[in-house]
Chains A and B, each alone.
Chain A
Amino acid sequence: MVDVKIENVYKYYGSIDGVAAVHDLNMDIKNGEFVAILGPSGCGKSSTMRMISGLEHISAGTISFGGNIVNNLAPKDRDIAMVFENYALYPHKTVFDNVANPLKLAKVSSPEITERVKRATQLLEIDHLLDRRPQELSGGQKQRVAIGRAIVRQPQVFLFDEPIAHLDAKLRARMRSELKRLQVDLGVTSLYVTHDQLEALSMADRVAVMHEGILQQYDTPQAIYEKPANAWVATFVGEPQMSLIECVIRQKGSGVVLDFEGHEIAVGAKVGKVLAASKEREVLAGFRPNHVAINTRKTAGSIPGIIYARQLLGGEILAEAQVNNTMIRARVNTDFSLQLGDKCSVSLSKEDLNVFSADTGVAIY
């Protein structure tokens, strides 16, 4: 159990003139912390994990475990355990031998192997499957065996590479809480790579959001959701997606308002102060669907629009209103009566919004 430091790490595939799969990455993972790397496919999250595991060469920079640089250590010398996306079980070995493999390689005595495999498999409720081979197991069972192989010894670092991506939704929800529980109980520093924001936000102590090889934001799940560092993170995290509307900051009286295609959006005093102080003129204002109201009542400051889509999400409806060429989404009650094409008015929250520079996308408020 150690802390992990990633300093100025680059990853290039092929020539160094090409695009970096990972660009100048700096991250620290505290001892015992559960960190998730979140990003769409091709964002460099898997490359990062593979460099930590030693399966991939580090093009530049250093990775250290507890102060020791591990750049030139083979995977076996890094004392890590990894759970792979496709489980990567040994197809010709039984469940017992799969789980026991790391212990056998560590030359643990065989009574102790039996004991520890038993303990790990009991924890994962697969102790009745010890004589089976992987092909006789269901996806969920395979995944437990893969986790069993990782937790059977106490490694310095756990690495999870989309371990539950191939399970069905119900099982995935259960495994989320079980994995989190397991990590807290074992107290092992863990890195979890996923493209599923629900997994990252629900399990991790801190989330690193990556996009095109660059770390966008590294913070607690709550901060990432409430204070996204830039417009990209704002739209990537959060389901249903945040609506971004292009506005211009305009002076009005002593304060400022946002001008959205001629419609005036009033903002709260705190937001106004920040906006007035910033040098920006053109901005993107972001509203989460729960901070938007769509209805038929015309009120001061509401924007007229047309219902473009409505989706039942179970206990609520996601309504999407079109204002000129901009889509604005809102969570509304299931008694929402407006149908596609109906006229509506959109009211935006004065306080709960995020503002980003239209130029750079960096958060202003």
Chain B
Amino acid sequence: MASREIIRYDNSPLLRLAKILTPIFLAVYLVWTLLPLFIMVMASMKDLLDAFDTPDAGDWGGVAMFFDFTPTLKHYYVLFAENNFGVYLFNSLVASLGSALVAVTLGSMAAYSLARMEFRGKKDLLFWIISTRMAPMVAVTVPLYAIFRSLDLVGTLPGLILAFTTFNLPFAIWILKGFFENVPYAIEEAAQVDGCTRFQAFLTIVPLVAPGVGAFLVLCILFAWNDFLFATIIGSGGAKTLPAATKELVQPQNIDWGKIMAAGVITTAPMIPLGLLVRKYLVAGLTMGAVRE
């Protein structure tokens, strides 16, 4: 591993300027990213009247009005009691976790063989795999819908898992291939000479790619969890997920902001701890192939 020590020359004026500007930039960036979340959480706990109670433009003293409300959890209650959000949350979890597991399982097998085997047309095959992600998803939605409908997969969880896998799998193959290529084949050969079968030799290197694979599993969950297009079109009806359900709260005659905000919180909340949990591995895993020893 390279040395962590970086030689710094602190006397350059540009560097001094950067030292001042960096915290300012970070502060602005924090406000920019956290404020919407903050407003969302606040608004989800306000009555409709409180939510629209805003000060006049320029009246900075009136900011206190934002915090002048009685917190209520009624929006959350209504979502779960009347709008079936419990079911949608379950659908979201099953569909995203299911598709991530399918993509990573199939993807690691495909990636392993693509990393280790040489065969005619390998480059073309690889390009074909990644090319399926190059077309905009909207372009394939209609044919996909037609296929899924004739197979009775529309509005079912297996159908939705399959739909999410169409975009997770090619990505998984490409990223995981890099992980496997980074593990010298000689390690597997040494294992075989030590007395492993071919498959046991493969298992020997699994711990070496596990952090990367784990991190990628989380990425796949996030992609699927946040998907809106396939969720509304393929999953609509029997397998509605949180983003699709939230969209349906926007009715022509009234937009129930309180409930929408609460739904937003429900959708965002589970992914935040997940992101924090794997943050370390995500960086380590995704840069695994970047620097060779």
Contacts and interface: CB of A to CB of B under 8 A. Distances in A.
B191 to A, nearest CB: 8
Given A53-B193, A75-B193, A86 B186 contact: yes
Q: Is the interface of B mostly helix, strand, loop or mixed?
A: helix
B270 interface: no
A120 interface: no
Given A88-B184, A92-B207, A106 B190 contact: no
Interface in B108-153: none
B208 interface: yes
B208 A76 contact: no
Interface stretch (B16-24, B196-204, B228-236): B196-204
Contacts of B200: 105
Contact of B184 (A81, A86, A101, A105): A86
Given A86-B186, A88-B187, A92-B207, A74 B197 contact: yes
B198 A74 contact: yes
Contact of B193 (A80, A86, A89, A106): A80
Nearest to A152: B194
Contacts of A84: 186, 189-190
> Looking at B189, B193, B200, B207, which has the most chain A CB atoms within 10 Å of its CB?
B193
A105 B189 contact: no
Contact of A76 (B184, B186, B197): B197
Contacts of A149: 190, 194
B195 interface: yes
B267 interface: no
B192 interface: yes
Contacts of B194: 76, 101-102, 105, 149
A90 interface: yes
A294 interface: no
B207 A75 contact: no
A82 B195 CA distance: 11
A75 B192 contact: yes
A148 to B, nearest CB: 12
8 tightest Cβ-Cβ pairs between the two chains A and B: A105-B195, A88-B186, A88-B190, A75-B192, A102-B194, A76-B195, A82-B193, A92-B207
Given A86-B184, A91-B208, A92-B207, A74 B190 contact: no
Nearest to A84: B186
Given A90-B204, A102-B195, A149-B190, 19 more contacts: A54-B192, A74-B192, A75-B189, A76-B193, A76-B194, A76-B196, A76-B197, A84-B186, A84-B189, A84-B190, A86-B184, A89-B190, A90-B187, A101-B191, A101-B194, A105-B195, A105-B196, A106-B195, A149-B194
A55 interface: yes
A101 B186 CA distance: 15
Contacts of A91: 187, 208
Interface in A90-106: 90-92, 101-102, 105-106
B68 to A, nearest CB: 57
Interface residues of A, number: 23
A356 B162 CA distance: 72
A116 to B, nearest CB: 14
B187 A76 contact: no
Interface string B186-227: 110111111111101000100110000000000000000000
Nearest to A106: B195
Interface string B249-268: 00000000000000000000
Nearest to B198: A74
Nearest to A85: B186
Contact of A55 (B184, B192, B196, B207): B192
Interface centre among B192, B194, B197, B207 (most CB of A within 10 A): B194
Contact of A88 (B189, B197, B198, B207): B189
Interface string B161-197: 0000000000000000000000010110111111111
Nearest to B120: A14
Interface string B75-96: 0000000000000000000000
A76 B184 CA distance: 19
Nearest to A155: B193
A82 B190 CA distance: 7
24 contacts: A53-B193, A54-B192, A55-B192, A55-B193, A74-B192, A74-B197, A75-B189, A76-B192, A76-B193, A76-B195, A84-B186, A84-B189, A84-B190, A88-B184, A88-B187, A88-B189, A90-B191, A90-B204, A91-B187, A92-B208, A102-B194, A105-B194, A105-B200, A149-B190
A55 B116 CA distance: 13
A127 B197 CA distance: 29
Contacts of A90: 187, 190-191, 204
A290 B247 CA distance: 91
A81 B189 CA distance: 11
A86 B183 CA distance: 13
A84 B193 CA distance: 11
A306 B187 CA distance: 54
Contacts of A53: 189, 193
Nearest to A101: B194
A77 B81 CA distance: 64
Interface in A55-94: 55, 74-76, 80-82, 84-86, 88-92
B270 to A, nearest CB: 31
B118 to A, nearest CB: 9
